[in-house]
């Protein structure tokens, strides 16, 4: 389903398939095949697009909904939730949380 991500990313930037084809040094028609899912996009092109859109390859591949690529398959859902919540905190509250975790860790 990564092809839908490619289309969404392009449309979010108000770009045409021709615009992206030029970035990838390919034709509009060839890029259309990638975006429509009729042909798999080569890895090196996916990498270029990830850098261009400033998102992770995991996001383009649909492995995560986090554009930065946070994907922890071996963590429990609760552990993932904690990580996402931590990332939303400002620096002051991150520091406070870490202090609290240090205190809790000493109580063992």
Q: Using a pLDDT cut of 70, give the percent of the chain over it.
A: 94
pLDDT digits (tens, 9 = 90+) for 10-47: 999 999 999 999 999 999 999 999 999 999 999 999 99
Classify residue 34 as exposed, middle or buried by CB count within 10 Å of its CB (0-12, 13-18, 19+): buried
> What pLDDT does residue 46 have?
95
Domain coordinates in residue numbering, the chain = 2-61, 77-106
Helices (H), strands (E): how many in the chain? 7, 0
Q: Does the pLDDT at position 6 exceed 90?
A: yes
Structure-token pair, residue 100: 């609290």
- pTM for the whole thing? 0.64
The helix/strand/coil state of 76 is coil
Please say if the pLDDT value at position 72 is more than 70.
Answer: no
Instruction: Give the pLDDT band (50/70/90) at residue 84.
Output: confident
CA–CA separation, 8 vs 20, rounded Å?
13
CATH code for residues 2-61 = 1.10.260.40
pLDDT value at 108 more than 90: no
Find how far residue 2's CA is from the centre of its chain: 11
* Residue 91 predicted with pLDDT over 90: yes
Q: Which of 59, 68, 85 is nearest to 4 (CA)?
A: 59
């Amino acid at each position: 389903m990564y092809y839908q991500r490619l289309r969404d990313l392009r449309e979010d930037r108000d770009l045409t398939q021709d615009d992206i084809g030029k970035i990838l040094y390919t034709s509009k028609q060839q890029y259309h095949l990638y975006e429509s899912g009729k042909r798999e996009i080569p890895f090196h092109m996916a990498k270029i697009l990830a850098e261009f859109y400033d998102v992770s390859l995991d996001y383009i591949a649909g492995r995560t909904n986090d554009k930065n690529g946070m994907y922890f398959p071996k963590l429990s859902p609760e552990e993932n939730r904690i990580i996402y919540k931590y990332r939303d905190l400002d620096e002051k509250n991150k520091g406070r949380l870490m202090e609290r975790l240090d205190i809790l860790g000493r109580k063992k």
